[in-house]
Structure 1
Amino acid sequence: MTTPAVVRTAAAGLALLLASACTAPAPPRSQASKAASTACSQPQGRSGAQTATTIDVIEQAYSCILGNYYSGATLDARSLLTTAFAALTQELNRNGHDVPEATMPALTGDRKADWAAFEAVYRKIGDQVPGLRDQLAVSTLEALVAALGDDHADWIHDVKRPPDYYDGDGYGLGFEANVNGTQAQSNDGVALPPLFVTAVQGGAAQKAGLRPGDLIESIDGSAPFIDGKATPAIAALYPRYPQARPVRLRLLRQATGRRWSVTLKPGLYQRDLAALQVVQSRLLDGDVAYVRMRGFAPDSADRMFKAISRLRTGRTLNGVVLDLRGNGGGSPTEAIRLVSAFAHGKITAYLCTVDGNCESMRTDDAVELLGLPLTVLTDRGCASACEHFSSAVKDLRLGRLVGTRTAGVISGPAQPYLLKNNTTLAFPTRHHLGPNREVIDRIGVPPDHHVPSTPQDAAAGRDPALAKALTLLHK
């Protein structure tokens, strides 16, 4: 299962599953044509250049969500409009142009009437600050989509970045707080201290001499945890536009007791090409195939099968360790094909409408069974299609999960809708459930063996989860 691309650098690395789009003719503002302008349909050919976002585009997005989002039929549309209006007023304040007309209209729960009231006030505000119309529209529509609180819902559009904005590789660091960066920002209650460096990939972090195991005690002067709870400071380590700026860290190296501060500036750096491969493999203990999969790309299952076949040549394998830590997801088809190498005739997941009408997703029994014991390494970086696979392995008892709970970022496959200004709205039309019909979104898949990493492990180059997985296969 995939998450949509978002308006940012491609930081999440999650693919967008394209299926349908929302298009509309240029609207005369009659009642009939206004309804037609918000209709959703399949895209026809390539979209043109992006044009300005207007209140008509916002209305089209509002109608598309209510008509097509998986729980659109039961949504209280007032929550969308209230969140959107709050963002509108915040944008006015940021620009120093608050106006008397910026007062939230009374809403009754009648979707059409509430939209008409919202639009009337919105237009009055725009008339007062014509120079801010574009910014107000963008902020309003972004908030309208964000109000869904759905990890697979987004509005994808081009953003004008300031001349000094850097949009590149980042700081060259990997982090651990018993949670991946996305979850640390969106669910502070999930992240657990301490926050420490797990990998130095290059760039500013390497130049500054940081090492795996170094504790991050503060970020831009703020503690990452207070009373054991994550703070918003952690988000600076996973920048989204327009926050990608130099970050100042206060560090502790426990082995020596050294404390020091360093400022990391984002920039391009040489990447390890081997580490960027979607699938990597090697032989462990002479008889175990270790395969690391960084994403569910369109051919990732075949790559894994070929890797295991190569490792099998001339020897007998006694198991597979599939490392899905940090795997942000991708194609649900690939997740199903991967499950199918370990079981046939099984349901891997359900896609359900809000009224409980569910379609089962089944194994592809044309995929050849590997016939090998399986352990899977998971963490809070395992999201979306990765969770589809992990939940199937756990529920169907195809192997054992080792590590930490997955991300809980799997609301459903995102469907795109092309808006009339040639931007894309994406959200699920059905909700994902595991093979046992359990909700995984916002919860994640718990491992069979909870084996978190520690700063001491990172500093010493130890991998306790991998060690546990090998022990399980050798029993």
Structure 2
Amino acid sequence: MKRVWTCLLGVLFALALAQEERPCPTPEPPVPPRPEAPLAMPEEFRRALFEAVWEAVRNFYLFPDYRGTDWLKIRQDYEPRVLGTVNAWEVYALLEEMVASLQDPATRFIGPLVVEQAVLQDPAYGGIGALLDRSWAEREGAGLKVVYVFQQGPAARAGLKARDRILAVDGDPCPTVEKIRGAVGTEVRLRVASPGEGSREMVLVRERITPLILPEAQRLPFAPAYGYLRLLSLEDPQGVPAQVELELARLLQGPPLQGLILDLRGLGGGTPGALFGVLGQFASGRLGALYSRTETVTLEVRPGRLFPSLQGLPLAVLVDGETWGAAEVLAAYLQAHREAKVVGSPTPGQTQGVEVLDFPDNSILVLRVFGYALPDGTPLEGRGLKPDAVVEADWLSFSLSQDPHLLKALELLGHTPPPGR
């Protein structure tokens, strides 16, 4: 009998484990806007739009080999199909497909319905005021990792912090962003956990959230001679540099810093104005070049207000596979010009040098037309950045004091942890 009970308990335990590891269903992808009825497009406009899109790629696309795509053959394949339909929505779908054949995530044709939807979409929403690193959890119990908490929002008031995990939403162990958002004034119940701690429940009231992503800066509590600056946006060409300057000035108050760690993990996109506004606090002069199919222009960065105070300060930069665009360029130039120690995983080489071409029907072509190069002429586009120290870790699963990337950066900057740590 004892043996039977032992076997039965083993089966029940295995079933419990299997249930805990049950995969969450993959959410349905967002449905693109669909027109209610066909819309006729005159042949002359179909021809003109096709010519404009195809010629723009042929003449201005950054890569002269079109990333291995036979662009002349693409014309032979798509021109008769575009001219052979009068339905405008089919024309837009064909042009989207044609440009997508370049297999370049930075280059795409976008029809007017999608553009209109993006313009009309209100950036404010009913939610808790937090950025999450994924829109869904693959397995029950995996949770959504909190990347950033907006100041003075419901999440901040409830004590939710970056690196926490949201394990369940209203009892559902497969949380998604869509389940967390909802009507303003309604309640949402979350089960959350911080790294190394047990789970806890919190009830939040959804509010209208207008995202305002600010840089985070502090002297590290366990290494107060070292500053830590985390950037989550490089979009606003005026606001971001001003906010970064303010945080850097605050870090410089008090005893002299022995080093600064700039955290660019998970940061993509950005604008040249924000990029060079931040870069100017750390480096100045001729830093590299912008190049296109037809010309190369030297990049010259003017020093920021804090440049004299920061120019000799040892730097480390944290990156990962989601560091791209302006953040990737920032890390590369700091590595090349300031001898910054780059820690993390290789970056994808997507510096996102694009121009947006608008057409009369409100469709647009987002086209990669320029790239960044280091002073020795090495292009960043398609190559990415190689860290000085490769550290592969799910850093959001660790507290700040246990973050493997951060600890390696401190080591490279010369920090010696106290005995017993």
Instruction: Compute the TM-score of the two structures, normalised by the length of structure 1.
Output: 0.55
| Residue equivalent to 2:109 | 155
Residue 298 of structure 2: aligned partner: 360
Within the candidate set 427, 447, 456, 2:387 is matched to 447
Match of 1:291 in 2: 229
Match of 1:145 in 2: 99
Q: Match of 1:61? A: 53
Q: Which runs of 5+ in 2 are unaligned?
A: 1-28, 31-40, 116-120, 136-141, 148-154, 156-164, 178-195, 197-204, 416-421
Q: Deviations over 1:105-126 (max 9, x none)?
A: xxxxxxxxxxxxx5445433x2
CA gap 1:143/1:323 in 2 versus in 1, 3 angstroms: same
What is the CA–CA distance in structure 1 between the aligned matches of 2:143 and 2:280, rounded to whole Å? Answer: 36
Please name the residue that 1:277 is paired with: 213
> Which of 83, 103, 113 is residue 123 of structure 1 equivalent to?
83
Equivalent position amino acid for 1:377 in 2: L
Residues 457-466 or 334-343, more deviating: 457-466
Aligned counterpart for 1:408 among listed residues 334, 345, 349: 349
Query: Does the Cα contact within 8 Å between 2:99 and 2:109 map onto a contact in 1?
Result: yes
Q: Which residue of 1 is the match for residue 10 of structure 2?
A: none
Which whole-Å CA distance do the structure 1 matches of 2:218 and 2:209 have between them? 17
Distance 1:136 1:306 in 2: 50
Q: Is the 8 A contact 1:337 1:367 kept in 2?
A: no
Tell me the CA shift for residue 307 of structure 1.
0.6
Partner Cα separation in structure 2 for residue 381 and residue 318 of structure 1: 28
Pair 1:325–1:459, CA change in 2 (3 A) = closer
> In 2, Cα distance between the equivalents of 1:270 and 1:81?
52
Contact 1:83 1:143 in 2 (8 A): no
Native 8 Å contact 2:316 2:413 kept in 1: yes
Paired letter, 1:278: L
Residue 459 of structure 1 and its aligned partner are, at CA, apart by 6.2
**Number of equivalenced pairs:** 316
RCO comparison, higher one (Cα < 8 Å, 6+):
1
Report the 3-state secondary structure (helix = DSSP H, G, I; strand = E; otherwise coil) of the residue aligned with 2:270: coil
Q: Could you say which structure has the larger radius of gyration?
A: 2
Counting only pairs closer than 5 Å after superposition, residues 54-453 of structure 1 correspond to structure 2 as: 54-71=46-63, 79-80=70-71, 104=77, 119-120=79-80, 122-124=82-84, 126=85, 133-159=87-113, 173-174=132-133, 199-200=145-146, 206-207=168-169, 277-284=213-220, 285-296=223-234, 297-298=236-237, 299-347=239-287, 349-354=288-293, 357-365=295-303, 367-369=305-307, 370-371=310-311, 372-410=313-351, 413-453=353-393
TM-superposed CA distance for 1:323, in Å, is: 0.6
> How many percent of aligned residue pairs carry the same amino acid?
23
What letter matches 2:389 in structure 1?
H
CA contact (8 A) 1:200 1:210 kept: no
Give a deviation string over 1:77-118, Cα, whole Å, max 9, x none. Answer: 983465578xxxxxxxxxxxxxxxxxx5xxxxxxxxxxxxx5
Q: In the TM superposition, what is the alpha-carbon distance from 1:368 to its structure 2 partner?
A: 3.7
2: CA distance, partners of 1:454 / 1:415: 34
1:169–1:272 distance in 2 versus 1, CA, 3 Å: closer
- Give 1:324 deviation, angstroms: 0.6
1:355-386 per-position Cα deviation (integer Å, ceiling 9, x unaligned): 6x421112213544123221111111111111
Maintained 8 Å contact 1:292/1:324: yes
Residue 301 of structure 2 aligns to which amino acid in structure 1? Answer: T
Distance in 2, matches of 1:288 and 1:65, equals 47
Specify the code of the residue in structure 1 equivalent to 2:302.
D
Shift of 1:288: 1.8
* C-alpha distance in 2 between matches for 1:172 and 1:334: 21
Q: What is the CA distance between 1:337 and its match in structure 2? A: 3.1
Note the C-alpha offset of 1:429.
2.8
Q: Separation in 2 of the partners of 1:433 and 1:400?
A: 19
Distance 1:445 1:308 in 2: 25
Query: C-alpha displacement at 1:421, in angstroms?
Result: 1.0
Offset of residue 454 of structure 1 = 4.4
Q: Secondary structure at the match of 1:287?
A: strand
Residue 151 and residue 438 in structure 1: after superposition, are their counterparts in 2 closer, same or farther (change >3 A)? farther
Q: Secondary structure at the match of 1:350?
A: strand
Quote the offset at 1:438 in angstroms. Answer: 1.6
Aligned Cα root-mean-square deviation (Å):
4.5
Write the distance in 1 (CA, Å) between the matches of 2:347 and 2:215: 20
User: Match for residue 24 of structure 2?
Assistant: none
Give me the whole-angstrom Cα distance separating, in 2, the residues matched to 1:156 and 1:368.
41
Deviations 1:184-241 (A, max 9, x none): xxxxxxxxxxxx7671479985327799xx9xxxxxxxxxxxxxxxxxxxxx99xxxx
**1:386-423 Cα deviation digits (max 9, x unpaired):** 11111111222431111111232125x21121112122
Distance 1:310 1:158 in 2: 45
